[in-house]
Amino acid sequence: MKSRLLLPAALCVLLASPLSAADEPGAKDHPMLKRVTGSEIIWAKSAKFDEMKIALEKIQYDYGTQAFKATKQESAEGARTTLYYRLPGDVSTLEANRQYEQELKAAGFTVSFTAANDELDDGYNRFVERIFPTALKTEQLQYLHEFNHEEQRYSVLKGKAKNGGDVYVSLYAFVLKDVSTGFQKLVDNHKLAKGQTVVRVDILETTPMEARMEVVKAAEITSSITTTGRIAIYGVHFDTDKAEIKPDSADSLTEMAKAIKEGGGRYLIVGHTDNQGEYAHNQTLSMKRAAAVTAALSSQYGIPSASLVPVGVGMAAPVAPNTEETGRAKNRRVEIVKM
């Protein structure tokens, strides 16, 4: 980014293109947002379609119930880029976030939430656990976060892309307090040292998921149920954390209804989720989705309601690992099970 005169004099580190950063091989800045001068990318990942959790208030834990309290959060889906930058010198977490914030504000972004240290969680690295759960399951990143969360700062901003879609940018800056173990590759490759600031930048451009699943025809549904007693349907769609069936699900519902009418008998309509979020919440959500499908099949496609039994199992029956979006997408499904 070009430097701007509106930056306060105290913010002496200008955002600019890198000159000689020893970036992780293959890593590069996102075209929407460049870097603080002198920083380098120590870890990077891009996904064509992924989910991004967005914190809107402090993360808190209820010791009585041994579960996270319900706090304001959002989630968005689309093309996601995650970049970890090692910042130069003694750049603080405040400087790091303010640099990015001011550049984004100049581009029309607005701050949805910002907080630091005890305003983010009530200890034990719970902010990262809640908002960046996959980081704690990723080699190198797991221990990078586990040992370095005493000084932390978070900001999330929302803006518009050129195509009119929403763009979310989150900034999570933290200071390295311990570089002794668990992420030696990052320490050695990028000369990480105590007192340095690392900032995690997540950029998500909301986009619809590319249709990869063909509509399963009634004959295939019947064949699978005859052979295995069940079939997974991926063509019934819902918005994130919602139970209202989207209009583009009509073709799949039509084929489901045909197979059920031809097969006769009774069927379980089973809702499944991935492992993102609380167990109890996903259990309830999956039941609501299963009930929505049974209601649609009954009211719109003429299937007797007595022939359908909605069941929600939440995250209890995955068919793929939940560690990556590809696996999570396979786990979010509706199944027809012959009773």
Do 242 and 102 share a structural domain?
no
Do 224 and 158 share a structural domain?
no
Q: What is the pLDDT of residue 180?
A: 86
Do 195 and 263 share a structural domain?
no
Within a domain: residue 8? no
Strands 267-272 and 308-314: parallel
Please state the domain count of the chain: 2
* pLDDT tens for each residue of 147-183: 999 999 999 999 998 878 899 999 999 999 999 889 9
First to last CA, the chain: 61
Record the pTM.
0.64
Q: What is the pLDDT of residue 9?
A: 34
* pLDDT tens for each residue of 259-273: 999 999 999 999 999
Residue type (1 letter), 23: D
- Res. 27: pLDDT tops 60: yes
End position of a domain, from candidates 165, 184, 206: 206
Q: What is the pLDDT of residue 240?
A: 85
List the domain range (segments joined by +) for residue 229: 218-338
Within a domain: residue 281? yes
Do 229 and 105 share a structural domain?
no
- The tokens describing 261, both together, are 């009418």
Do 153 and 235 share a structural domain?
no
Do 75 and 199 share a structural domain?
yes
Strand pairing partners for 118?
none
Rounded CA-CA distance 266/305 in Å is: 10
Do 61 and 122 share a structural domain?
yes
Within a domain: residue 7? no
The separation between CA 155 and the C-alpha centre of its own chain, rounded to angstroms, equals 16
Find, among 34, 122, 112, the residue nearest to 76 by Cα: 112
Confidence of residue 24 (pLDDT cuts 50, 70, 90): very high
* pLDDT tens for each residue of 55-109: 999 999 999 999 999 999 988 888 999 999 999 988 999 999 999 999 999 999 9
Do 148 and 74 share a structural domain?
yes
Do 131 and 252 share a structural domain?
no
Within a domain: residue 2? no
Rounded CA-CA distance 182/169 in Å is: 28
